[in-house]
Amino acid sequence: MCFGPFPLHQTMASRKESAASGSSPLETPVKQIQIDGLVVLKIIKHYQEEGQGSEVVQGVLLGLVVEDSLEITNCFPFPQHTEDDVDFDEVQYQMEMMRSLRHVNIDHLHVGWYQSTHYGSFVSRALLDSQFSYQHAIEESVVLIYDPIKTAQGSLCLKAYRLTPKLMEICKEKDFSPEGLKKACIGFEIMFEEVPIVIKNSHLINVLLLDLQEKSTVADKHELLNLSSSNHLEKSLQLLMDRVDDMNQDIGKYNTYCRNLSKQQQQKQQYLQRRQQENTQRQSRGEPPLPEEDISKMFKPPQAPPRMDTLLIAGQVTCQSVIFMGRSLF
């Protein structure tokens, strides 16, 4: 389910000069994210209305960069990819939306995208690809992950992630083989980095909130104190087990690859030795030596970071479930 990288290149081509600086700083250019209350509400609403079926909703974040913090001032949702909409033009949708928003003075700078997640399992190849292309085009872009299930339990769960510079390097080179990864010394902890989020509201919105609070009743907001968390626990555990299984398979594959590689090395050695022997025999008999054949029966199945992703998923889901459980414990 790969999302907006393609339209992004076209829209960003003209804006690249104006958006980020030309040089790529080594430390993260974004220290903090400031989100408008409106964006939070919109994301919540989008998932609530459209996300019940397919579990993942996506959208675009708009805003601007102010010194070392990223301000997100508006957002718009992206329609779902349905089968009967094969030639639905994403680019056109985005362009039209941004053009219209420009008319009403809404910031039309693309600064990232958001995605909802299901029980914390959002780390996937698609996310990596999309975020990479976003970050490649715009230095400061982030992906906001919204967890509706955890939010429904009482506390807004919104996290912002960026790819670390190291991972950016690797993705740029597209060298996902084990040797490449070993060289770069990537561990799963340094793939994504989390950026702290701060919510900001203008004065007028504060007045609105005051009004809302006066009018709303003291409703039942006690989801937090719900003791029966076994349902969520089961689901999280199930997902964790699935990820561990995937991980297992991947490791198995890697092991077979290593074994095959070493076997092949042995075979090569044996072949070379036999060659040598034959050559000496032939020489002793006075015949021309056999030509050295090209020993390029090397097959090297590149182990791509699906391995890395599985790692990260496992780590991620683990973390999520730990946090989740830790909270329910209280």
Partner 1 sequence: FRIPQNNELSPPAGHVNFLLIREIHVANVASTGFCQPPTSAGGQQHESHGDLRSLSSSLFIIILHFLYEIMAVHGPVVKIHPVVLASIVDSYERRNEGATRVIGTLLGTTDKHSVEVTNCFSVPHNESEDEVAVDMEFAKNMYELHKKVSPSEVIIGWYATGYDITEHSVLIHEYYSREAPNPIHLTVDTALQSNKMNIRAYVSSQMGVPGKTVGVMFTPLTVKYVYYDTERIGVELLQRTRASPSRTNGLTTDLAQVASAAGRVQEMLTTVLSYIEDILSGKVMADNSVGRFLMDLVNKVPKITAEDFESMLNSNINDLLMVTYLANLTQAQIALNEKLVVL
**Which of 26, 212 has the CB closer to partner 1?**
212
Token pair of 30 as six digits: 């974004």
Amino acid 257 reads Y
Angle between helices 165-173 and 125-137 (to 10 degrees): 100
CA 246 to chain CA mean position, Å? 18
CA 237 to chain CA mean position, Å? 22
The C-alpha torsion from 318 through 59 and 197 to 141, rounded to 10°, is 100
Q: Tell me how far, at minimum, the Cβ of 88 lies from partner 1, in Å.
A: 8
Q: Tell me how far, at minimum, the Cβ of 318 lies from partner 1, in Å.
A: 5
Nearest 5°: the CA angle 313, 317, 323 is 150
**Which of 199, 295 has the CB closer to partner 1?**
199
**Which of 21, 86 has the CB closer to partner 1?**
86
Q: Tell me how far, at minimum, the Cβ of 313 lies from partner 1, in Å.
A: 10
Q: Tell me how far, at minimum, the Cβ of 97 lies from partner 1, in Å.
A: 6
**Which of 60, 137 has the CB closer to partner 1?**
60
Q: Where are the beta strands (DSSP E) in the chain?
A: 32-36, 58-66, 69-77, 110-116, 142-146, 158-163, 192-195, 197-200
Q: Tell me how far, at minimum, the Cβ of 276 lies from partner 1, in Å.
A: 33
**Which of 2, 210 has the CB closer to partner 1?**
210
Residues 283-296 as b/e (b if ≥16 CB within 10 A, e otherwise) read eeeeeeeeeeeeee
Q: Tell me how far, at minimum, the Cβ of 309 lies from partner 1, in Å.
A: 12
**Which of 56, 244 has the CB closer to partner 1?**
244
**Which of 23, 228 has the CB closer to partner 1?**
228
**Which of 105, 284 has the CB closer to partner 1?**
105
Nearest 5°: the CA angle 143, 98, 44 is 45
Q: Tell me how far, at minimum, the Cβ of 198 lies from partner 1, in Å.
A: 5
Q: Tell me how far, at minimum, the Cβ of 258 lies from partner 1, in Å.
A: 10
Q: Residues 6 or more apart from 46 whose CB is under 8 A from it? A: 57, 59, 77, 116
CB atoms within 10 A of CB 198: 10
CA–CA separation, 162 and 139 (whole Å):
10
